[in-house]
Amino acid sequence: MSARPRIDLHTHSTASDGTLSPAELVRAAAESGLDVVAITDHDTTAGWEPALRALPAGLSLIRGAEISCRWYGEEPAVPLHLLAYLFDPDSPELVAELTRVRAAREERGERIVALLRADGIDVRWPEILAGAAGGTVGRPHIAQALIRAGLVATTTEAFGPDWLGERYRLPKEDIDVFHAVRLVRAAGGVPVFAHPRATRRGRIVPDELIADLAAVGLAGLEADHEDHSPAERAHVRALAGELGLLVTGSSDFHGTHKTVRLGAFTTDPEAYERILAEAGGVTGVASG
Ligand code: AMP
Ligand code: FE
Ligand code: FE
Ligand code: ZN
């Protein structure tokens, strides 16, 4: 490892809505000069094995996931993302919840497509599902269909208010965030709140909720993320300090579905060591 290791703890592969396969992702991570990369696909661990098998020499892999959660303290409930590291992928309760969420995503995707088709927009669900190639399906896959149909030019445009951002947006059936934090801890994992202050993505939760989550086992907050402004990053850091939570920074790389590059934001080795120390030991760090 280099003197100051470069650590990126949030990336996506084709196991969800990224565009690099898990094997390509770990190779790209090594080529980008990262020492540690976490694979954190939405609601699945399907990328873990292929990433492990392809792990280049010198790269450490943290196996994780980004879990679709919801806070029911407001009406309508607020969607949020929980990163979970080094949990037992065979934990029955967690597996059952992730399976349920993935099925609900398919059902919701099909309903979004039905809404689009009712307005005369010629996108087809079987094609979109095939585009996800067995990975967790999400709006980025529908965005690709809108691009292929020539209706929008970019993914960003597809997430605008006229399309998947508002007009054709439907909620997912996510996991109650308190339940998710407890399930991740019970599975030996370390839960970190992804981009908690990203107002540009939609509604955010109050700091009081984050304090309540810390009380039931939340380990950390992702501060350095492209969807946070400098002021939002500073706020998250200060809040983490108050609550005794660790702070991460990560790219949230999605291949060509987003413009951000691997390693664009990184996590301090001290925070990384804390994640390792808090992990339950079933799923260790894998080194290539
Ligand atoms: P879903 O999980 O189906 O609700 O879709 C959310 C996913 O879409 C996120 O995980 C991002 O990968 C992606 N996404 C959200 N907002 C945008 C945006 N404005 N531009 C591009 N991708 C986005
Ligand atoms: Fe995503
Ligand atoms: Fe996210
Ligand atoms: Zn993500």
Please answer whether residues 54 and 25 qualify as being in contact, where contact means their C-beta atoms are separated by less than 8 angstroms: no
What's the CA dihedral at 15, 16, 17, 21 to 10 degrees?
-10
225 in contact with ligand 1, CB cutoff 6 A: no
Burial of 247 per CB tally in 10 Å (0-12, 13-18, 19+) = buried
Which residue minimizes the CA distance to atom 2 of ligand 1? 138
Other beta carbons within 10 angstroms of residue 147's beta carbon come to 15
- The predicted structure's pLDDT at residue 200: 86
Cα 140 to ligand 1 centroid, rounded to whole Å: 6
pLDDT score of 2:
53
CA 136 to CA 69: how far, in whole Å? Answer: 15
Q: How far is the CA of 132 from the centre of ligand 1 (A)?
A: 14
Tell me, using a 6 A CB cutoff, whether residue 66 lines ligand 1: no
Helical (H) or strand (E) element with 76: none
Distance from chain centroid for Cα 72:
20
CA of 120 to the centre of ligand 3 (A): 31
The residue type of 51 is A
Closest CA to 144 of 127, 167, 162: 127
* Ligand 1 lined by 138 (C-beta under 6 Å): yes
Q: Is the pTM of this model over 0.95?
A: yes
Q: What is the pLDDT of residue 263?
A: 98
Mean pLDDT for each consecutive 10-residue tract of the chain (288 residues)? 86 98 98 98 98 98 98 96 98 98 98 98 97 97 97 96 96 96 98 96 95 98 98 98 98 96 98 98 93
Residue nearest to ligand 1 atom 20, measured at CA: 156
The predicted pLDDT at position 228 comes to 98
Nearest to 13 by CA among 52, 56, 60: 52
Of 160, 118, 117, which Cα lies nearest the Cα of 139? 160
CA distance 284 to 85: 10
Does residue 224 line the site of ligand 1, with CB under 6 A? Answer: no
Tokens (6 digits) for 266:
């990184």
For 121, residues 6+ apart whose C-beta sits below 8 A from its C-beta are 146, 149, 151
- Residue 106 Cβ contacting ligand 1 at under 6 Å: no
At 281 the pLDDT is 87
Report which of 279, 274, 78, 93 is spatially closest to residue 176, judged by C-alpha positions. Answer: 78
Cα 166 to middle of ligand 2, angstroms: 17
| Structure token pair of residue 54 | 């392809």
